[in-house]
Amino acid sequence: MPIATLADLSNLLNTLAVGQRAALPYSVYGLLFPPGEPDDGARVLAFGFAREHGCLIENQPPAQ
């Protein structure tokens, strides 16, 4: 399921069971939370969005 909007991401996060993970490429992250990494404002929005869905963000720069 391609992620192109915050609604798509919300749907994906809502389907995760406890302990499951989902990966979001930095290119998509930048579209959803502009301007993307390493912007602090984008991080605040992304971490808040994840928290609202009961999720945590694990930043993995080498994996992109």
Looking at residues 26-55, what average pLDDT do you find? 96
Looking at residues 18-32, what average pLDDT do you find? 94
3-state secondary structure the chain: CCCCCHHHHHHHHHHCCCCCCCCCCHHHHHHHCCCCCCCHHHHHHHHHHHHHCCCCCCCCHHHC
- d(C-alpha 48, C-alpha 63), whole Å: 22
Whether 60 shows a pLDDT value over 90: the answer reads no
| The predicted structure's pLDDT at residue 59 | 85
46, 29 in Cβ contact below 8 A?
A: yes
Looking at residues 7-24, what average pLDDT do you find? 95
* Mean pLDDT taken over the chain: 93
Whether 30 shows a pLDDT value over 70: the answer reads yes
**For the chain, domain boundaries:** 6-14+21-58
Q: CB-side exposure of 27: number of CA atoms within 13 Å?
A: 3
